[in-house]
Amino acid sequence: MSTKDSNSLYGQVILFGDLLTHISSNQDESRRLDIINRGFSYRLAYKSQTRGSLGQAVFFGCNDAYLPGNYQHAPLDVYRDNLEQIIQHPAIKAQSPRVMVITPPPVNEYQLEAFDASKGVPHPSRAKEQTKRYADAAGKAAISLEVPVADLWIAFTGAAGRRLHLTASGYRIMYCVAMKTFSSQVSRV
């Protein structure tokens, strides 16, 4: 199958994830690749159906890692099973894309109280230790399926000592880590 969608002049890279994917729009590759951003603002276990993609980044866990009791929380074993099902789904495998898992980054606990109050949810809604477990589970799922992993937890804690949130600087770190991981799998993007 061609690496180009019949409706596209460019090769495609699929970004499949939660709200962080949805709001991440990065223009750096817009002239060389058709970046298909499929981010959703809620916990998700949808089946991905891609056509003609060069690669697919699977980026879930930020919402799933809410503490139990929050409607977006997914138990850790369910989260990992969902990642593995997405990666192994026949619609993904049929395209033979280079798949990469992106781990959730650390939660910014310094801004969490105000964020929780603005959303009307009990505080704390998240915890860095909880998010770390989900980052570890994403990495283990990727390794078990022999899929590369872009570890945002390590990148963020190394860059900012657990204090960086996904602002423009945060997305720049995510982009650099993801492109380094993806580039190691694709000879020319």
pLDDT, tens digit, 9 for 90 and up, residues 127-180: 999 999 999 999 999 999 999 999 999 888 876 544 434 667 777 888 888 888
Question: How many CB atoms neighbour CB 186 within 10 A?
Answer: 15
pLDDT at 50 over 60: no
Helices (H), 67-186: 76-88, 90-93, 109-119, 128-144, 152-160, 168-183
Q: Which amino acid is at 163?
A: R
pLDDT, residue 172, reads 80
pLDDT, residue 18, reads 66
Greater confidence (95 vs 19) lies with 95
Report the CATH number of the 13-187 domain: 3.40.50.1110
Asked whether the whole model's pTM tops 0.75, one would answer no
CA atoms within 13 A on the CB side of 186: 23
Locate the domains of the chain by residue range: 13-187
Q: Which amino acid is at 188?
A: R
Q: Which two tokens stand for residue 127?
A: 């915890």
1-22 pLDDT per residue, tens: 344 444 554 566 666 666 555 5
18 within 8 A of 66, measured Cβ to Cβ: no
Q: Which own/partner contact pairs does 162-166 have at CB distance under 8 Å and 24+ positions apart?
A: 162/106, 162/128, 163/108, 163/110, 164/105, 164/106, 164/108, 165/108, 165/111, 166/20, 166/24, 166/105
pLDDT, residue 66, reads 95
Return the minimum-mean-pLDDT range out of 21-25, 55-59, 130-134. 21-25
